[in-house]
Amino acid sequence: MTCPQCGHEQPDVFSQCQKCRYIFPPRTVYYKKPPSIESSVARPNRGAPSAPAVLGAVVGVVILGATLWWLHSPTGLPVPNGAYVNQDHHFAMLVPEDWYILTAGNYKEMFEKLGDRFPKSIRDGLSQRRIEVGFLKLLEDADFSPNINIVVMEGDMPSLDETQLKEAAQALSAQFSRMLDKYQLERKELVTVDELTAAQFTSKTSIKSKVAESQPIYKETFPGWRTTIGQSPEEWKTYDMKMIQTLVPGKKRAYIITCTALETQYPDFRRAFNNAVDSFRVLQRPPRFGKVVMGALQGGIVGAVGYLLYVIVTALIGLLRR
């Protein structure tokens, strides 16, 4: 250090000049503050999302929204031209033009017109509203006319698989064995109707039908006088039948399509029965997947859409602040 008063050179450790005793002014010492832990850690970029990120978020929202709509808006095959359409229970079916359509509104008129050729099972089903609609092929000089009827069951139906098919077959056999004579389930299988998995059962049975009522038996006791001496027995006839029953799921309902003909008639009408079932359309369809899968998919999609909307909103706020 050089003394500013006398110019004497001396080490920096002294606080005054060793020659003239000049007292040196105090020196200011500068210390460099060490970096803090917070400043040493890289801070995240808190700026608005980039344009490509926002564009990707918009595209993602559109795709996920379309997927959500697809999950809740299942569609089937188009309704055939000329098909019978039931708006109350949301189904349609095409049958040949020469088949009669029987409903709860016209069955009495048809019964008076057809008489004994009108199947009693359809008449009772329509009168008690167990059958929603029936289709009848009226045959001349025939004891029985082939027919198709549709029963609607309200309520959710589980997705059909082999286990459900087996359980349905057991329930069907138990029910019809109590109602019909010699009921025999011949075949059960899963089929596709209107792009839906359906259960189909082919069976045979016998139906007894009364063909003649009991009549009084008279005996002439005096000329012009008759006395009743008894009653003739009722006349019954047994019909051997063959049936195809198809269980089709719908939205909060299920449909049972039953096609019935005499066993001797069945080969002639098998194609008509198959074509009618193939033409069946479910206008309000069940969900694409089961409840568990639908819940998981819907929850994941809604969560993803919410995050992407947050990204888009953040970008818009950042743009407005500039």
The predicted-structure confidence for 286-304, as pLDDT tens digits, reads as follows 876 666 566 676 777 777 7
Task: Give the three-state DSSP class for 243.
Answer: strand
What local confidence, expressed as pLDDT, does residue 71 receive?
64
The predicted-structure confidence for 248-271, as pLDDT tens digits, reads as follows 999 889 999 999 898 998 999 999
CA angle 293, 298, 304 (to 5 degrees): 130
| Residues whose CB is less than 8 angstroms from the CB of residue 271 and which lie 6 or more positions away in sequence, other chains included | none
- Whether residue 117 is predicted with pLDDT greater than 80 in this model: the reply is no
CB 211 within 8 A of CB 237: yes
Closest CA to 144 of 289, 273, 261: 261
Average pLDDT over residues 19-42: 60
How far is it, in rounded angstroms, from Cα 133 to Cα 40? Answer: 80
Fold of the domain spanning 92-204+235-282: Protein Transport Mog1p; Chain A (3.40.1000)
Which tokens sit at 291?
């409840």
pTM above 0.75, yes or no: no
The predicted-structure confidence for 136-184, as pLDDT tens digits, reads as follows 888 876 667 888 989 898 888 777 889 888 988 888 788 777 767 788 8
